[in-house]
């Protein structure tokens, strides 16, 4: 008898918490540069047998961004550090295809995979914030569709570089003086429209072949790229029917590219506020709401919708603005929610303050487990990217109180059965040259 | 009574050893991708109270390079990993100003400094191998002097980005809702000839202010840059008088830029082959020589001299070729040695196989200590970049047998008295905006 289908869990580590006021909760630590906190969170996630931890990124800042995003450790070096203090959990981070060089990024990710024994994941982003361009001496951020064309080619050149060496290149025959098998080193000589890289990459093939590919684009171009290459898809959903349709669409696109629908895992973001009773959980949410900085919250909403909101009445309806294309998934989900629940701008601002638009479950551990199980069993998700409103307490509660319920229900592993991220996700190791 | 002047020691970790045949020695491990070995070496260096460990780099490869350079972990991610398994030792790596973006590299180095509590060093290189250009879609490697102009400006923009935030930006006043002191975040808006970066950098000021700046260029442009910015200078010297003149020149250049000559530490590379007796050490060198791959050795020599050596008689004199400008320090040192000792091409090839042109000391632990003390006391060096011929054994011998002698002679610390790399080196923390 085979096991029932298992849920996948990731923790989205955002230093000062996902709720905009999370850092103000009792016991919260504002850890976007607090390595000690992040190490404790990573170990807690591993104690909870999570598939992976995930670090987001941006290459720009300003003082009035979401607190977790103002100042932070750089994610790739942070993943490398975390590889030394964890043993099993997958280690994923965002890295932009618009503002990095393929040869360099291929090395960073490859090294992390080598050092962690096959636990690296790469969230491929095209760069959400237009302000980034000026940090890289560019006149402007490329347009949406061009950014996706660049991303698709970037992945191609990275894969070509990662395949510079066949498996088994190391010989290390001291007596014969045979160091490597030179016949197993190849020169990709990649020439594309946006990138050229001759190679070879100066690294042997990584344990996972390629890092696990993660993608989150909700636009047509984003979904197309995800169908082609993504192995995990992050998504912003409030509505189960929409999430079901999204999942079905992505799996169909993967199949159209000749891939198994099982090899693309849909993991929407979920924030859980957990209390001993539903009332206690709701009280926590109320406290968070009272502590949230309204100016920052409105700015975060404006970023998500892609429009300046300065001129609108906070107690009027949410203005019906077209998705700007920069964070389209967020914009569409938030607009749909506002329409469905007839929200004022102030109410939508408070939703964004809590989860940046992601699903929020407020209740007892059982209620949170129910909320995850429902979506999982309905085919709206293969797992969840857990976005704790603050660290470490709110995440500790999830691991200590929700995970055991999921385990008892047979929905989630009690022990690791693999030591690579591909292993946790049931993904094959890509063939060389694949 | 103040302590006598203390020697600084670094270990240059080059996976498969510095001798081209080091990996073939009994007990040697070929560790350029062997994290476990590198961790053991780092810990051994810390046991020996070394100031720092150093990782070189290149952004290209081919199967017939020096074995340590064919395949390797990427140094920045590796430093980040090592920050978690060491406590005191400085962590330095090479990163190219020709093939990275200032905003990205500033973040990587800043994160390493944050995570290590102020132990990061940056060896600023302009990229020695012309083949690198093709890995980055460039038609050609920039010319020597332009590479140095780019490097100087790169350091300027990196410093501007590192100064985006004044010290003390974190407030974390939960009750008042004061997260950071926004007035302490500034927009550098750097506009240069080669780079522009608006900023701010999304990271608070690092513990050391800036990473310790390391430089190794021996050309006029390289020395000038070193005088201006370097805090450690690596060098290739075989001759003490030449090393003395080099050190005096660099300190004079630093003074001309208004800097204290004490704040530029000259640390030439030294390889030591240690035996219980001088004869035993010489026998090890002979074994290494017999094991060296002559084809790879000649290629490494050709790289250093900057000329193809295919057409020359191995048993004839070393051809008198002008330094090519790519690795000028190596070329000049090797040509001077060949002339002084009247070496054949075969003999010079064997020198390069052993140390790539750096000083080699073969003998008992006392003889090695004597050789270091002589140069140190003569003002030819402030310390040494130790280049073990293989790992881990040859380095273990240095730490176990040579370091105690240096300590007994009062030349080297018995315990760490600081926890930052600047602290070990006696360098001040730069003022903000400096």
Contact list, A115 vs chain B (CB under 8 Å) = 35, 73, 77-78, 81
| Cross-chain residue pair A78–B111, CB shorter than 8 Å | yes
Question: Is pLDDT of B351 > 50?
Answer: yes
Contact list, A78 vs chain B (CB under 8 Å) = 80, 111, 115
Interface check B258 vs A, CB under 8 A? no
**pLDDT tens digit sequence for B4-17:** 799 999 999 998 99
The answer to which of A4-18, A36-50, A138-152 has the lowest mean pLDDT is A138-152
Q: Nearest CA of chain B to the CA of A43: how many Å?
A: 14
Q: Against a cut of 0.95, is the pTM above it?
A: yes
CA proximity to A366, closest of A404, A390, A402:
A402
Question: Is pLDDT of B303 > 60?
Answer: yes
CA proximity to A177, closest of B257, B23, B381, B73:
B23
| Candidate from A33, A69, A103 with C-beta closest to B59 | A103
pLDDT band with cut points at 50, 70 and 90 for residue B321 = confident
**What integer pLDDT is reported at residue A386 of this predicted model?**
98
Question: Is pLDDT of B96 > 90?
Answer: yes
Residue showing tokens 């690791």: A416
d(CA B349, CA B271): 16
Average pLDDT over chain A reads 94
| Candidate from A61, A174, A203 with C-beta closest to B72 | A203
**What integer pLDDT is reported at residue B3 of this predicted model?**
65
Give the residue with greater pLDDT, A217 vs B371. B371
| Cross-chain residue pair A177–B107, CB shorter than 8 Å | no
Q: For B207, which residue in chain A has the nearest alpha carbon?
A: A33
**What integer pLDDT is reported at residue A278 of this predicted model?**
97
| Cross-chain residue pair B60–A202, CB shorter than 8 Å | yes
Q: For B29, which residue in chain A has the nearest alpha carbon?
A: A172
Taking a contact as any Cβ pair under 8 Å apart, which residues of chain A between 8 and 27 contact chain B?
A: 16, 21, 23-25
**What integer pLDDT is reported at residue B330 of this predicted model?**
86
Residue showing tokens 């993943």: A79
Q: Nearest CA of chain A to the CA of B237: how many Å?
A: 29
Taking a contact as any Cβ pair under 8 Å apart, which residues of chain A between 353 and 382 contact chain B?
A: none
> Per-domain residue ranges for chain B?
8-277+358-425
pLDDT > 70: what percent of chain B?
99
CB B213 within 8 A of CB B124: yes
User: Choosing among A202, A288, A299, A390, which should be mutated to test the B contact, i.e. which has the most B CBs within 10 A?
Assistant: A202
CB A185 within 8 A of CB A204: no
| Candidate from B99, B104, B111 with C-beta closest to A73 | B111
Q: Nearest CA of chain B to the CA of A195: how many Å?
A: 6
| Cross-chain residue pair B77–A74, CB shorter than 8 Å | no
**pLDDT tens digit sequence for A184-215:** 999 999 999 999 999 999 999 999 999 999 99
| Rounded to 5°, angle at Cα B206 from B116 and A29 | 75
Question: Is pLDDT of A315 > 80?
Answer: yes
pLDDT band with cut points at 50, 70 and 90 for residue A303 = confident
E strand segments, B192-281: 196-197, 212-215, 232-235, 265-274
**pLDDT tens digit sequence for B37-62:** 999 999 999 999 999 999 999 999 99
d(CA A305, CA A301): 6
Beta strand pairing call for A196-197 and A190-191: antiparallel
CA proximity to B352, closest of B18, B54, B64, B24:
B18
Q: For A138, which residue in chain B has the nearest alpha carbon?
A: B196
**What integer pLDDT is reported at residue A128 of this predicted model?**
64
Task: Write the burial class of residue B148 (CB in 10 Å: 0-12 exposed, 13-18 middle, 19+ buried).
Answer: buried
**What integer pLDDT is reported at residue A219 of this predicted model?**
85
pLDDT band with cut points at 50, 70 and 90 for residue A327 = confident
Question: Is pLDDT of A228 > 80?
Answer: yes
**Maximum alpha-carbon separation in chain B:** 80
How many residues are there in chain B?
434
Contact list, A20 vs chain B (CB under 8 Å) = none
Give the residue with greater pLDDT, B100 vs A356. B100
Task: Write the burial class of residue B389 (CB in 10 Å: 0-12 exposed, 13-18 middle, 19+ buried).
Answer: buried
**What integer pLDDT is reported at residue B368 of this predicted model?**
98
Interface check B229 vs A, CB under 8 A? no
Question: Is pLDDT of A251 > 70?
Answer: yes
Interface check A115 vs B, CB under 8 A? yes
Paired strand residues for B8: B383
| Cross-chain residue pair B198–A135, CB shorter than 8 Å | yes
**What integer pLDDT is reported at residue A127 of this predicted model?**
76
**pLDDT tens digit sequence for A420-429:** 999 999 999 9
Q: Mean of the pLDDT values across residues B369-384?
A: 98
CB B388 within 8 A of CB B274: no
Instruction: Say which residues have a Cβ less than 8 Å from residue B409's Cβ, sequence separation at least 6.
Output: B369, B373
Contact list, B112 vs chain A (CB under 8 Å) = 77
Average pLDDT over chain B reads 94
pLDDT band with cut points at 50, 70 and 90 for residue B1 = very low
**pLDDT tens digit sequence for A59-81:** 999 998 899 999 999 999 999 99
| Candidate from A137, A180, A204 with C-beta closest to B196 | A137
| Cross-chain residue pair A83–B83, CB shorter than 8 Å | no
Paired strand residues for A363: A274
| Candidate from A70, A108, A137 with C-beta closest to B77 | A108
**What integer pLDDT is reported at residue A2 of this predicted model?**
59
Q: For A78, which residue in chain B has the nearest alpha carbon?
A: B80
* Distances A283 to A131, A363, A389, B414 between C-alpha atoms, Å: 37, 10, 14, 57
* CATH class name, domain A8-278+355-425: alpha beta
Q: Report DSSP letters for B371-419, one per residue.
A: HHHHHHHTTS-SEEEE--SSTTHHHHHIIIIIHHHHHHTTSS-SS---S
* CATH class name, domain B8-277+358-425: alpha beta
Instruction: Say which residues have a Cβ less than 8 Å from residue B370's Cβ, sequence separation at least 6.
Output: none
Q: Mean of the pLDDT values across residues A1-25?
A: 90
* Distances B335 to A323, B19, B92, B302, B314 between C-alpha atoms, Å: 66, 20, 29, 12, 15
User: Choosing among B140, B179, B205, B292, which should be mutated to test the A contact, i.e. which has the most A CBs within 10 A?
Assistant: B179
What is the number of CB-based contacts under 8 A between chain A and chain B? 198
**What integer pLDDT is reported at residue A1 of this predicted model?**
47
Interface check B288 vs A, CB under 8 A? no
Say what the alpha-carbon torsion angle B216, B218, B219, B222 is, to the nearest 10 degrees.
30
């Amino acid at each position: 008898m085979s096991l029932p289908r298992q849920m996948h869990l990731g923790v989205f580590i955002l230093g000062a918490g996902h709720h905009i006021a999370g850092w103000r909760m009792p016991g919260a630590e504002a850890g976007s540069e607090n390595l000690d906190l992040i190490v404790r969170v990573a170990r807690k996630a591993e104690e909870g047998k999570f598939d992976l931890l995930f670090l987001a990124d941006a290459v720009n800042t300003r003082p009035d961004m979401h607190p977790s995003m103002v100042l932070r450790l750089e994610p790739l070096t942070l993943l490398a550090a975390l590889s030394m203090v964890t043993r099993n959990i997958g280690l994923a981070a965002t890295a932009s295809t618009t503002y990095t060089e393929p040869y360099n990024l291929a090395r960073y990710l490859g090294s992390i995979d080598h050092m962690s024994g096959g636990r690296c994941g790469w969230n491929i982003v095209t760069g959400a914030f237009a302000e980034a361009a000026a940090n890289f001496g560019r006149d402007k951020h490329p347009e949406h569709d061009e950014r996706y064309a660049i991303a698709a080619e970037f992945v191609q050149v990275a894969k070509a570089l990662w395949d510079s060496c066949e498996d088994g290149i190391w010989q290390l025959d001291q007596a014969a003086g045979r160091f490597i098998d030179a016949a197993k080193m190849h020169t990709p000589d990649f020439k594309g429209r946006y990138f050229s890289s001759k190679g070879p990459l100066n690294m042997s093939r990584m344990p996972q072949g390629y890092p696990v590919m993660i993608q989150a684009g909700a636009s047509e171009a984003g979904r197309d790229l995800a169908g082609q290459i993504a192995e995990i898809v992050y998504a912003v959903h409030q509505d189960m029917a929409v999430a079901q349709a999204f999942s079905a669409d992505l799996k169909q696109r993967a199949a159209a590219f000749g891939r198994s629908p099982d090899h693309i895992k849909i993991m929407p973001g979920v924030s859980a506020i957990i209390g001993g009773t539903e009332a206690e959980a709701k009280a926590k949410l109320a406290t968070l709401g009272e502590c949230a900085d309204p100016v920052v919250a409105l700015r975060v909403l404006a970023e998500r919708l892609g429009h300046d909101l300065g001129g609108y009445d906070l107690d009027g309806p949410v203005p019906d603005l077209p998705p700007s294309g920069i964070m389209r998934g967020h914009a569409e989900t938030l607009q749909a929610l506002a329409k469905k629940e007839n929200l004022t701008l102030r109410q939508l601002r408070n939703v964004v303050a809590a989860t940046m638009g992601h699903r929020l479950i407020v209740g007892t551990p059982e209620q949170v487990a129910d909320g995850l199980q429902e979506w999982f069993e309905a085919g709206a998700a293969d797992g969840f990217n857990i976005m704790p409103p603050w660290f470490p307490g709110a995440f500790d509660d999830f691991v200590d109180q929700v995970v055991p319920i999921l385990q008892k229900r047979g929905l989630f592993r009690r022990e690791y059965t693999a030591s690579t991220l591909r292993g946790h996700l049931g993904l094959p190791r890509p063939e060389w040259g694949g």
